[in-house]
Chains A and B, each alone.
Chain A
Amino acid sequence: ETGVTQTPRHLVMGMTNKKSLKCEQHLGHNAMYWYKQSAKKPLELMFVYNFKEQTENNSVPSRFSPECPNSSHLFLHLHTLQPEDSALYLCASSQGRGDTDTQYFGPGTRLTVL
């Protein structure tokens, strides 16, 4: 248990569906992150939020829409996804400062797009 929870753990959706992934951290951290983990690729950083403000968007397609209503919660809204978007989506949180800043990851949501 890392203090970061993600729901749902598994999600299967069609290309026309709309769904949302939820992340919650109980660590009092200021920064939250969305990563995509695909087979044969490094972990890809998607979005970064610091103090609820988006500070990084790594050229992520608009079919992925993040939302950070407060410093403890992070959502990833999904719509009209493609099969190649199937992956493990990981949320992480950290204090957000310094060379030794440690990111704490949730268990991920395994997404399958049919």
Chain B
Amino acid sequence: TQLLEQSPQFLSIQEGENLTVYCNSSSVFSSLQWYRQEPGEGPVLLVTVVTGGEVKKLKRLTFQFGDARKDSSLHITAAQPGDTGLYLCAGRSTLGRLYFGRGTQLTVWP
């Protein structure tokens, strides 16, 4: 089992604040994906990172893949209520299997 630990489990902040959530593992992944899931919906892919040390930006969201391809972080600048949701990381093993973390539940208050 390739365990992915996400932290924090819950995060409640005010609009305009910055935040970082983390996804850590002792296993190496060939790629890592971040998804956002809103209530009553399935997860939706935000980004895929493939190269160790890679940084990708999606508007106010910045994703980083660790140099050793074992961990990742998601930083949100000036959070907005529309960012509220469950953020899931998923690592793809070298055998092609996708493993999900438990997620970080983010709530952004107006």
Q: Considering only CB atoms, which chain A residue lies closest to B86 in the complex?
A: A37
- Taking residues whose C-beta sits less than 8 angstroms from the other chain, chain B's interface range is 20 to 34
Contact B44 A100 (CB under 8 A): no
**B42, B43, B48, B102: which contacts A100 (Cβ < 8 A)?**
B48
**Contact with A102, one of B42, B48, B99, B102 (Cβ below 8 angstroms):** B48
Contact between B31 and A99 (Cβ–Cβ < 8 Å)? yes
Instruction: State whether the Cβ of B63 lies closer than 8 Å to any Cβ in chain A.
Output: no
Q: Are A2 and B101 in contact (CB under 8 A)?
A: no
Q: What's the Cα separation between A92 and B37 when bound, in Å?
A: 13
Interface SS majority for chain A: loop
Residue of B4, B40, B45, B99 near A103 (CB, 8 A) is B45
Q: Is residue A108 within 8 Å, beta carbon to beta carbon, of the partner chain?
A: yes
Determine how close the nearest CB of chain A comes to the CB of B15; give it in whole angstroms: 27
Q: Which residues of A contact B99 (CB under 8 A)?
A: 42
A45 within 8 A of B: yes
Q: Least Cβ distance of A114 to chain B in Å?
A: 22
Residue contact B102 to A92, C-beta cutoff 8 Å: no
B-contact bits for A36-55, CB 8 A (1 contact / 0 none): 00001111010000000000
Interface residues of B (CB under 8 A from A): 4, 30-31, 33, 40-45, 48, 50, 88, 90, 92, 97-103
Chain A residues at the B interface, C-beta cutoff of 8 Å: 2, 4, 40-43, 45, 90, 92, 99-108
14 contacts between A and B (CB under 8 A): A2-B44, A4-B42, A41-B102, A42-B103, A43-B90, A90-B42, A90-B43, A100-B48, A102-B45, A103-B98, A105-B42, A107-B40, A107-B41, A108-B40
